[in-house]
Structure 1
């Protein structure tokens, strides 16, 4: 599959050149094809994850989950899409109409651009950047602006308070999220995501950096606004947060964007700490992209398991945990990693 991916990309480039396109236009056309393929992958997975979450929730809470629409309820998500598409998107009279409609349209942009550097397997990244990690953190942070845009444009006090809580939460947890990766960068000496995966051939980083793994995973769950960190939609406090005034497909885009963030969190966790496409126990006869998907869906199951097991925490508890626990521990992990690397160098290992 990895070789097939490379061959298809090469064949498309040759086809574009035979069509008379310049090298620049050929590369641009190829990039557009990759973006569309990634977008299709994201949408299909987001639709599947809606169904998967309902089944996981039903299993954990001793409920059947969707079982009426289609075999085993598989068409329930399709029915939901039909319902949401048939609903009118009502724009509040005093809202900023341009920003109000722009926010749900842009919400998929940051995760889509981040997926461009995520390797789905060996040589299966759309763009293999030498500064892939920097690109990841830079683009992932843009979602904060879009959530704030949605709350501000709605001209609703509940929406504004909800978007403020989202911004506070995401900014707070981005710091330990970034610092937790420093240990991996120090060990590998690279910001290239594919190189980080190859550096785990002998041992996955979850064993070398277990504290960093926990910090990164918790922060990514918080960045995705998932329980127990789903303060954006505290129904008992602020109704539906920045999404209060949104209905129909406008709300559906925000809803699906959450699952896209979950998918991205699982991919990055599997890539940075679980060896990415590398096979465990020498089971190399199974293609690397299959191992990647197995690890990704294992992490997605854990994220769903957490949601349907633990209650939402208060906003003050969330902020205290981020600033007083995760941030100091992530900084301490960097110092311990540095000391450990120095000892290894002195011992000649």
Structure 2
């Protein structure tokens, strides 16, 4: 019945199983010894207060053993240090997420990126249940997600991106800043692969369309999706390092916006910049019409020739689309009025300069 063992002497048979039993016991003690060694080493490390930068060094050092890297990562990212299952020096506050100090995540290994990606859903749930400081943690986790995507296998990255919110998690408004779709703006400005920016754009398109159709409403009046996206497309033009997305991507987004709404697509002073970026003639024409003729005649932000820059843009549009009679008529009328307006502006500026000179003269001679 036990073929293979029939010719084996009983004593050798017993020795064989004794060796297996001995090996199992040895592995058990070795494992126990390893756990004790890890705990003691970590405890010794935490005998004195540690700064976040010291833990960051552990997390990104390829020579540090994985279980110490994982503890460093948990300590840096946990919404509450007190909930960690191991000792952490309580005489300091890490809270790296409070200042969005997450640049170190770009330096973690692929295996650590996977580890963090698995932690984030759990930590998000913990932060949502936290009464104090939970908001800061949630904002941080949302900003962390884009930094990990290019380090993860495709399936894991797709799953993690599902946790990413393109809108600000909490509504706010003051004289300088307002909530809206800041995470999407930051995603566009990051050096991440454009595939993720396009996925973010797809989500934004859906939100805008749902609001325009009246199926959903913005959380706050200043969070109107169309207006926020118009602002994002304008802000992308301010980058000192050039457009942070491809021209093709930017053109696609302008094309999408030309099919919705009625007003100008970006701030009027961006008109020339966008015209320079658009390569498709039909999209450029649609943009020019919306940017120049959009809105009501008395809207304060309507395209008007009130500077040499606007005059140059008006002449350019007439030259590129001479067959558009409506566009041509409006711009030619604006250009006809411009010399008189320019004279008034020069006269006004001259008066201001003279008044300034008189005041400064009195300040020296009074």
TM-score (norm 1): 0.23
Q: Which protein has the larger Cα radius of gyration, Structure 1 or Structure 2?
A: 2
TM-score (norm 2): 0.22
Greater helix content: 1
- Larger relative contact order, structure 1 or 2 (CA cutoff 8 Å, min sep 6): 1
